[in-house]
Amino acid sequence: MSVRFVIDSLDFVRNARVHHGKIPLVELTRLQSYLFDSRGELMFAVSGSFDEHNKPMLQIVVKGEMNLCCQRCLGKLVHTLDLQSCLILVNDEEELDQYDDDDTVDGILATSDMDVLQLIEDEIILNLSISSRHQENECSIESRVAADKEMSTHPFAKLAGLKKTH
């Protein structure tokens, strides 16, 4: 398991720091329920800066491939992740509520002990579709249904199929 990367978010921004690296998918525990398998890793970069209104912000970039679980056939669905996110750092809940009303800007509370890998995992999960699925006619279940229809034309086709598997 890699070492957790914890930052003081406002200090990270004030000093215009940048951190990048690789995250093995196996370490993203909350993401596991979306994955078909946990092979591979994702590349990430986090940088601190100020936006055009002089508000502190974190920029997050995550790239890589992961195998999601198709919600239709439960098979492997290769997903290319190219995530770019900007998060405005706010000092209190009241300021955060103002950003919650604005759909164009994402805000998070500035903390002195922000776990960057957890933040990255949050962003990945938030950017996944609600129900990941293959494109039409690409699911393995649909090809099995088509094969079953083909076999059902002959009365002993299923028996022949069972004979081959045993």
Residue range 75-105, pLDDT digits in tens: 888 999 999 999 999 988 887 777 776 667 7
Residues 109 and 128 in one domain: yes
Residues 13 and 48 in one domain: yes
Structure tokens at 40: 């591979």
Q: What one-letter code names the amino acid at 4?
A: R
pLDDT score, position 122: 94
Residues 50 and 79 in one domain: yes
Domain that holds residue 72: 6-133
Residues 32 and 21 in one domain: yes
Residues 115 and 147 in one domain: no
pLDDT score, position 129: 84
Q: What one-letter code names the amino acid at 93?
A: E
Count up the domains in the chain and report the number.
Answer: 2
Residues in the chain where the model's pLDDT stays below 70:
1-3, 101-103, 141-157, 161, 164-166
Residues 117 and 144 in one domain: no
